[in-house]
Structure 1
Amino acid sequence: MDIELLIRTQKNKKLRDIGEKLLQERRLSPEDALELFHSNELTYIGTLAELVNRKKNGMFAYFIVNRQINPTNICVYQCDFCAFGVVKSDPKAYEMGMEEILSKVRETYLQGGREVHIVGGVPPHWKVEDYVSLVRTIKENFPEMVIKAWTAIEIHHMAKVSKRSYEDILKELKDAGLSAIPGGGAEIFSERARKIIAPYKANAQEYLEVHRTAHRLGIPSNATMLYGHVETYEERVEHMQKLRELQDETGGFQVFIPLAYWPEGTRLGGKRTSSVDDLKTIAISRLFLDNFTHIKAYWITLGERIAQIALNMGADDLDGTIEEEKIVHSAGAKSAYKQSKEKLIKLIKDAGKVPVERDTFYQVVAIHS
């Protein structure tokens, strides 16, 4: 389709002006993003997003052979939107031993895995040494594996209980073998919404400061947004604006990951987001976050089919094989627990894109054309 013709024939003047802005590679305003969220022109928005994506990533769509480990579901915060975290006395509570964790890492390593992604609950009885020891032990046993571990929430908690700075905590983790931090825990930055869904965990300023500190120390990170619960479109845009501002400052974010809220088993309740909302959120994030190279369609929360469609609406990454994921599945996600490398390659090829196996830092490992 002729993109200029598509924009020129758009009947809504505000949407037409947004299209012209993008053709001129001018930055969208928060008002522009809000206009897109309120629009029902999904095909138009998705086509614009794919135009921007192809300028940044061509026909490449990325994946990684990795392993997610959720070492415990015991959590001090007990957020109403979360079905994963429980108190220590709960019959569903668990803590993995080190041998079990190493066994899972070994399995992925032998399959050509390059990354272990660690995130879980925040147990009240864990000390900083427990987090550091886990990273160090994995790195000592599997020095070639990149460790992406502990969200800003967990790092903030470590700093709080030890009365140390974020910088001290991050330096110790980095010395132990940590190379990147995931984006979880951002939820939604709005103070109003955060008081409802997660009133006790680190606030937006603290989350952003952990990432700012990590970037200053040469530790890249991911960024997320949980949407589809109690937040408004205005609060989604405000969230992305704060991330865009920090990325302008540091350049340390590698990818933005919109995470669809799953309500099953949560105290907050609610309904699952629509596929239209999922695709629109992916596309608008691609258009608004002009200083992010990558937008992830996280197949765990979206499901395979919507993630595949998203690869033609602004997303360029599916995440990875993952192997095991407990947090979102606790809230009702029905996606398979793991994907084979071959399945991800097929999903990408069937979407008309070129599958690119990557490492944690988006360096190309192999192109599966």
Structure 2
Amino acid sequence: MDLLDKTLKGDNLNANELSKLYEYDIFTLGKAADTIRRKKYDNKVFFNMNRHINPSNICADVCKFCAFSASRKNPNPYEMSIDEILSQAISSYKRGAKEIHIVSAHNPNWSYNWYLELFSEVKKSLPDVHLKAMTAAEVDYLDRKFGVGYQKILEDMAKAGVNSMPGGGAEIFDEKVRKHICNGKVSSQRWIEIHQYWHSLGKMSNCTMLFGHIENRENRIDHMLRIKNAQQDFNIVEAKKGGFNAFIPLLYQKQNNYLKVDDFPSGQEILKTISIARIILQNVPHIKAYWATLSMNLALVAQEFGADDMDGTIQAESIQSAGGAKSKSGMEKDDMVFQIKNAGFRAIERDSLYNELKEW
């Protein structure tokens, strides 16, 4: 039995062994990944109506890959008030957003209660909106700053109205790579612990992987295996148990940062990574081809290589666009639907937990 067959069968293989999946022809990997995704979702491609709000770019941590935080390459620090954030959220809701996605830099000027007040105010004004907020990196930062324990932070977030967590801050789990690209940020083990505790509260989250910088193929596979292992007890049917909704391979954006990367991954390397993720992570329901980092065209191609989700309309986006992505103004729903259908797929609007709302 060859390596791909062993992987599909679920054999317990290590990262070094599984990294050799990259040696397969792209169409062989794509066919295997597409078979898995079509058994799950047929010809559906999911998207949602969401709005990203990034309250501040003033950050206590320094990550070499980041173009968003205020620095010499981005000398325009800003921080929004709760009223400003609320105004943007309400405006987006009126334009159709069903999810408000709040992720920020690690701003040293804000109190612990500032975050809880923000979430409470959003939910009080918009009780029907799904509030996705606070990466594990932000939770870890608050724990380091205020010393209250990540468990209490997560419990307080849930009480304040946070419905699910995004997957940011994972980057690459290999600690040698982390030391180079984001030294001092949340550790890989703590990132996983934070998400698992959130899941124990009956909540869902996403998981990400930043790739295409200084990591190697084995680092990527190791990252996927850690997600797979963290998800082992996941049961999407069991209402009282949370877990990872989606795995999101985020392509590194190379502009305006301090991480010198000469070799950018080819389109084939990117599609192979997405296919391998679908093949390995069969216990994570969805694989998202995040158009904000991949481009719309490549994200659509990725739907033939194991991905089944595009993310959403976004409306406004500051983090990836600071690094060169063409996502600053988001995308109109009609354009999203047209692009998905034009590529030969069924355009399915979903909510934040992947309940199907409408086929367009």
- TM class by shorter-chain length? over 0.9
Q: Distance in 2 between matches of 1:366 and 1:359?
A: 10
What is the CA distance between 1:34 and its match in structure 2?
1.0
Aligned position for 2:86: 102
Q: Percent identity?
A: 38
Matched, 1:361 2:346: no
Q: Residues 33 and 305 of structure 2 are in contact (CA less than 8 Å); yes or no, is this contact kept in structure 1?
A: yes
Q: AA paired with 1:263?
A: K
2:267 corresponds, among 272, 275, 297, to: 275
Matched, 1:310 2:302: yes
Matched, 1:37 2:29: no
Aligned position for 2:132: 148
Aligned position for 1:51: 35
Q: Residues 316 and 327 of structure 2 are in contact (CA less than 8 Å); yes or no, is this contact kept in structure 1?
A: no
In structure 1, list runs of 5 or more residues that go unmatched.
1-12
Matched, 1:260 2:245: no
Q: Distance in 1 between matches of 2:313 and 2:91?
A: 12
Corresponding residue SS for 1:249: coil
Q: Deviations over 1:54-111 (max 9, x none)?
A: 11111111000000001100101111111111269x7400011223222221222112
Q: Distance in 1 between matches of 2:180 and 2:351?
A: 37
Q: Distance in 2 between matches of 1:27 and 1:140?
A: 48
- Structure 2 vs 1, CA of residues 116 and 253 (structure 1 numbering), >3 Å: closer, same or farther? same
Higher deviation after alignment, 332-341 or 284-293: 332-341
Aligned position for 1:286: 278
Q: Deviations over 1:168-200 (max 9, x none)?
A: 111111111101000000000001100100011
Q: Distance in 2 between matches of 1:21 and 1:97?
A: 49
Q: Deviations over 1:320-351 (max 9, x none)?
A: 00011111111111346211111111121122
2:99 corresponds, among 111, 115, 128, to: 115
Q: Distance in 1 between matches of 2:58 and 2:23?
A: 39
1:190 corresponds, among 174, 177, 182, to: 174
Aligned position for 1:62: 46
Q: Residues 287 and 308 of structure 2 are in contact (CA less than 8 Å); yes or no, is this contact kept in structure 1?
A: yes
Number of equivalenced pairs: 350
Q: Distance in 2 between matches of 1:346 and 1:27?
A: 40
Corresponding residue SS for 2:177: helix
- Structure 2 vs 1, CA of residues 232 and 21 (structure 1 numbering), >3 Å: closer, same or farther? closer
2:4 corresponds, among 13, 18, 23, to: 18
Q: Distance in 1 between matches of 2:104 and 2:267?
A: 27
Q: Distance in 1 between matches of 2:18 and 2:112?
A: 40
Matched, 1:224 2:208: yes
Q: Distance in 2 between matches of 1:289 and 1:307?
A: 19
Q: Distance in 2 between matches of 1:159 and 1:198?
A: 18
Q: Distance in 2 between matches of 1:131 and 1:262?
A: 28
Alignment of 1:234-253 (within 5 A): 234-251=218-235, 252-253=243-244
Q: Deviations over 1:99-133 (max 9, x none)?
A: 32222212221122210011110011222111111
Q: AA paired with 1:149?
A: A
Q: AA paired with 2:187?
A: N
Q: Residues 67 and 113 of structure 1 are in contact (CA less than 8 Å); yes or no, is this contact kept in structure 2?
A: yes
What is the CA distance between 1:20 and its match in structure 2?
7.1
Q: Distance in 1 between matches of 2:328 and 2:59?
A: 25
Q: Distance in 2 between matches of 1:359 and 1:27?
A: 34
- Structure 2 vs 1, CA of residues 96 and 75 (structure 1 numbering), >3 Å: closer, same or farther? same
The normalised TM-score by structure 1 is: 0.91
Q: Residues 317 and 327 of structure 2 are in contact (CA less than 8 Å); yes or no, is this contact kept in structure 1?
A: no
Higher deviation after alignment, 291-300 or 164-173: 164-173
Q: Distance in 2 between matches of 1:335 and 1:275?
A: 19
Q: Residues 45 and 284 of structure 1 are in contact (CA less than 8 Å); yes or no, is this contact kept in structure 2?
A: yes
Q: Distance in 2 between matches of 1:324 and 1:35?
A: 39
**RMSD, matched Cα:** 1.8
Q: Distance in 1 between matches of 2:204 and 2:229?
A: 16
Q: Distance in 1 between matches of 2:185 and 2:6?
A: 41
Q: AA paired with 2:90?
A: R
Corresponding residue SS for 1:207: helix
Q: Distance in 2 between matches of 1:221 and 1:138?
A: 19
What is the CA distance between 1:37 and its match in structure 2?
1.8
Higher deviation after alignment, 103-112 or 193-202: 103-112
Q: Residues 304 and 335 of structure 1 are in contact (CA less than 8 Å); yes or no, is this contact kept in structure 2?
A: no
Q: Distance in 1 between matches of 2:87 and 2:67?
A: 26
Q: Distance in 2 between matches of 1:335 and 1:32?
A: 36
What is the CA distance between 1:50 and its match in structure 2?
0.3
In structure 2, list runs of 5 or more residues that go unmatched.
236-242
Corresponding residue SS for 1:267: coil
Alignment of 1:169-208 (within 5 A): 169-208=153-192
Aligned position for 2:289: 297
Matched, 1:80 2:80: no
Q: AA paired with 2:23?
A: H
